[in-house]
């Protein structure tokens, strides 16, 4: 990127870009495009991450067709909906004199450094050309075992990719509330969050609308990724008039603001910490915990008291201390099937074909700081 121009990543969920029957909500997209034009006029670059391909695809196929949760069917339906969704964004931005560019990303674009650099270069060039990138996961060909899972997570990783200063997750609620408003009439907006802790994650609950794959829990997870990469995050209501300007101006009540952490993680470690599913757990003793958290060391087999789950080399596992708290997450070098050969053993007692470290510090993120 030629100059340090502020970048805003805007993510919209399925319920925000589609109507009740799943067709594209052109009025909502038109409103957001108008706001994007205003952001651009104030010298701010904008990247859009848009959900809605599957909902749009089902709508295009007709009401009489039976719905399915089969991942292969959903991928096919996404292939029907994605061009319709992209076309709506192109039309909406064209009305404002702006050009849209569609970018479909896959998880491997964030794992492999060359692909990561290529994706970043492409997005940088699009922004330099004055284009508004419209991003989605490449659902039609994504491997079910290797995918983002929801576009909230994708938006957070994209925010790091483009060096955004702020990410806004637009949804159908004013932000994170103190309780479920369907159950508690007095539920109020939480305006600021400095640290996302376990209690806050429990409050967020599970997935929301059946039209989308996320919910407040996925938005909290995305906010955690973004704030750990130095990106301030706001969850706000898509239908709020002038919501993007309100968010950028920091207006009170515009949504829930999640403050960026002062210490940030590189892209690969963000992926390990928050995007990869955990295949198992290793419980470490107090000495190993200190070595990881305080001394920044690798995890050696000698410090592991027990292991659960089925994992193979390069799988992600959680590292838990004796109290049950997750202190780190990383990529293991040993298979769980051979745990009897390495569990609790000193390095000089390990078989010759096993590495000296169970998890190297370069492949680990310390979470229990």
For residues 260 and 298, state if they share a domain. no
- Domain final residue pick, 264, 293, 324: 264
For residues 129 and 248, state if they share a domain. yes
CA distance 44 to 127: 10
For residues 208 and 318, state if they share a domain. no
> Domain holding 303: CATH number?
2.30.130.10
Neighbouring CB atoms inside 10 A of 192's CB total: 9
What pLDDT does 137 receive?
Answer: 83
For residues 252 and 288, state if they share a domain. no
CA distance 63 to 82: 18
For residues 281 and 260, state if they share a domain. no
Return the residue matching tokens 């169970």: 358
CA distance 97 to 271: 36
In a domain? residue 269: no
What pLDDT does 145 receive?
Answer: 42
> What are the average pLDDT values for consecutive 10-residue runs of the chain, which has 369 residues?
78 93 94 98 96 92 82 88 95 98 85 83 96 85 54 90 94 88 84 83 55 68 89 96 96 94 78 81 96 94 96 95 91 95 94 94 84
> Domain holding 121: CATH number?
3.40.1160.10
Number of compact structural domains in the chain = 2
133, 48 contact by CB (below 8 A): yes
Length of the chain in residues, anyone? 369
- Domain final residue pick, 239, 264, 289: 264
For residues 162 and 293, state if they share a domain. no
For the record, the structure tokens of 300 come out as 């050696």
For residues 92 and 227, state if they share a domain. yes
CA distance 99 to 87: 11
In a domain? residue 1: no
H-only helix segments in the chain: 14-17, 26-41, 53-61, 71-95, 108-111, 113-128, 151-161, 198-204, 216-228, 243-249, 267-270, 286-293, 339-342
Domain of residue 343: give its range.
277-366
For residues 194 and 60, state if they share a domain. yes
In a domain? residue 271: no
What pLDDT does 272 receive?
Answer: 84
Q: For the chain, what is the radius of gyration of the CA atoms?
A: 22
In a domain? residue 334: yes
For residues 287 and 212, state if they share a domain. no
In a domain? residue 290: yes
**Which of 105, 131, 132, 130 lies closest to 120, judged by CA?**
105
181, 188 contact by CB (below 8 A): no
For residues 90 and 226, state if they share a domain. yes
In a domain? residue 214: yes
In a domain? residue 2: no
363, 330 contact by CB (below 8 A): yes
For residues 244 and 334, state if they share a domain. no
In a domain? residue 270: no
For residues 186 and 79, state if they share a domain. yes
């Amino acid at each position: 990127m030629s100059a340090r121009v502020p970048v805003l990543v805007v993510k919209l969920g399925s319920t925000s870009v589609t109507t009740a029957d799943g067709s594209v909500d052109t009025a909502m997209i038109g409103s957001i495009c108008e706001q994007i034009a205003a952001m651009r006029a104030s010298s701010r670059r904008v990247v859009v991450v848009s959900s809605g391909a599957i909902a749009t695809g089902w709508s295009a196929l007709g009401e009489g067709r039976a719905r399915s949760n089969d991942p292969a069917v959903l991928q096919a339906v996404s292939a029907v909906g994605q061009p319709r969704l992209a076309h709506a964004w192109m039309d909406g931005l064209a009305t404002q004199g702006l050009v849209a560019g569609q970018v479909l990303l896959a998880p491997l674009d964030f794992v492999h450094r060359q692909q990561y650099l290529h994706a970043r270069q492409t997005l940088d060039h699009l922004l330099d050309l004055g284009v508004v990138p419209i991003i989605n996961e490449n659902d039609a060909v994504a491997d079910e075992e290797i995918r983002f899972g929801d576009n909230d997570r994708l938006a957070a990783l994209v925010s790091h990719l483009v060096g955004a200063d702020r990410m806004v997750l637009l949804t159908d609620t004013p932000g994170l509330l103190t309780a479920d408003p369907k159950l508690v009439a007095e539920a109020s907006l939480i305006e600021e969050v400095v640290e996302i802790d376990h209690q806050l994650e429990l409050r967020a609950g599970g997935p929301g609308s059946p039209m989308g794959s996320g919910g407040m829990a996925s938005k909290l997870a995305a906010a955690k990724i973004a704030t750990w990469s130095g990106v301030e995050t706001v969850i706000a209501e898509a239908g709020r008039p002038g919501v993007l300007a309100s968010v950028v101006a920091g207006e009170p009540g515009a949504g829930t603001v999640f403050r960026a952490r002062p210490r940030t993680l590189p892209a690969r470690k963000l992926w390990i910490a928050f995007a990869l599913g955990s295949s198992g757990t290793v419980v470490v003793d107090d000495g190993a915990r200190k070595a990881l958290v305080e001394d920044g060391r690798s995890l050696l087999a000698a410090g592991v008291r027990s292991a659960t789950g089925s994992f193979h080399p390069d799988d992600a596992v959680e590292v838990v201390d004796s109290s049950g708290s997750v202190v780190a997450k990383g990529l293991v070098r040993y298979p769980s099937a051979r745990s009897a050969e390495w569990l609790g053993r000193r390095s000089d007692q390990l078989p010759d074909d096993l590495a000296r470290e169970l998890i190297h510090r370069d492949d680990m993120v310390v979470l229990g700081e």
